[in-house]
Amino acid sequence: MPSWDLVQTEIKAAGSAHDILRRRYVKELSDYTGRNVILYYSGWLEKEALVRQGLTGTEVNDSDKNGFMATIHKLDRSKGLDLLLHTPGGNVAATESLVDYLRAMFGTNIRVIVPQLAMSAGTMIALSAQTIVLGKHSSLGPIDPQINGIAAHGIVEEFEKARAEIAADASAIPLWQPVIAKYPPTFVGECQKAIDWANAMVKTWLQTGMFAGRSDAAAAADAVVRELGDHALTLTHDRHINAERARALGLNVTMLEDDKELQERVLTVHHASTQTLGETAAIKIIENQDGVSFISAVNPRPVGP
């Protein structure tokens, strides 16, 4: 007969009704594809009000590596990986480290499935895969990095505009001084370095992954980076890039609607995941088809006088 402690451990492992259903659907998706499935879901949309108030942890960050280490640990890595990705993006260094780790575990046998949104650094992760699966409702975004929540391209453009106007007319100095004073002296240089770093990373990942073996791999990667990394072309960091546009860029995109059974299973996992994030304290879910999970939650505020 199991002890009280063992029963309690089993209850905690089973999780809430949200966890039980979501894990069942993730397992059914893996059974259908014959591949490993890892869910990487952020609750930045469901917890939008809290994010505006300063909630952190919904973005790609270094603590995510712990979740991926836990979920990958006992997987049969020869089956490859389907990564279900739903994220606003985040830290460039953390993104690089995460992609390096995934490739160390699975090589380039990685397919990224985007049921709704993979923006910014999320798009960078998607571009490191062999294939990206998008629905008609799915979107990628520009890969221009954010510095303290501000688009690095926007900061560089602002400084360049200030420099040009001041050079043309010194009387413009008082107008630009409050704008320039917002940033530390080295900030523009750091922004440019972040842009160059992100572009170089994505170009390398495309050449060694999605475009590997192509005679024009370097040129094709350059074209993608130029389109997705140039703020002057994408216009805004929040711009949504649909499947049709992604294909036009030369990316290896397959449509979720082409496989109705896959579509049904992916969207069921998506709905179960977003309901978990919307109806519980969870702000991020990293989980595999065996039910191994790494879930970050909102820390409750202490109650007291």
pLDDT at site 2: 60
In the predicted structure, residue 29 carries a pLDDT above the cut 80: yes
Residue-wise pLDDT tens digits, 35-92: 999 999 999 999 999 988 989 999 999 999 999 999 999 999 999 999 999 999 888 8
pLDDT confidence tier of residue 303, bands split at 50, 70 and 90? very low
Q: Are 126 and 118 in contact (CB under 8 A)?
A: yes
Amino acid at 181: A
d(CA 225, CA 53): 33
Q: Is residue 127 part of a domain?
A: yes
Task: Determine the pLDDT at residue 237.
Answer: 55
pTM of the model: 0.87
* Burial of 302: CB neighbours in 10 Å, binned 0-12, 13-18, 19+: exposed
Domain assignment present for 135: yes
Q: Residue 248 falls within a domain, yes or no?
A: yes
Mean pLDDT of the chain: 89
> Strand pairing of 131-134 and 81-86?
unpaired
In a domain, 10, yes or no: no
Domain total for the chain? 1
Domain that holds residue 169: 16-296
pLDDT band of residue 298 (cuts 50, 70, 90) is confident
pLDDT level of residue 177 (50, 70, 90 thresholds): confident
Residue 205 lies in a domain: yes
Give the per-residue SS3 of the chain: CCCHHHHHHHHHHHCCHHHHHHHHHHHHHHHHHCCEEEEEEECCCCCHHHHHCCCCCCCECCCHHHHHHHHHCCCCHHHCEEEEEEECCECHHHHHHHHHHHHHHHCCCEEEEECCEECCHHHHHHHCCCEEEECCCCEECCCCCEECCEEHHHHHHHHHHHHHHHHHCHHHHHHHHHHHCCCCCCHHHHHHHHHHHHHHHHHHHHHHCCCCCCCCHHHHHHHHHHHHHCHHHHCCCCCCECHHHHHHCCCCEEEHHHCHHHHHHHHHHHHHHHHHHHHCCEEEEEEECCCCEEEEECCCCCCCC
Residue 166 lies in a domain: yes
Residue 8 within any structural domain of the chain: no
* CATH number of domain containing 42: 3.90.226.10
Let me know if residue 203 belongs to a domain.
yes
Tell me the two tokens of residue 246: 């992604």
Span of 45-59, 143-157, 226-240, 288-302 with lowest mean pLDDT? 226-240
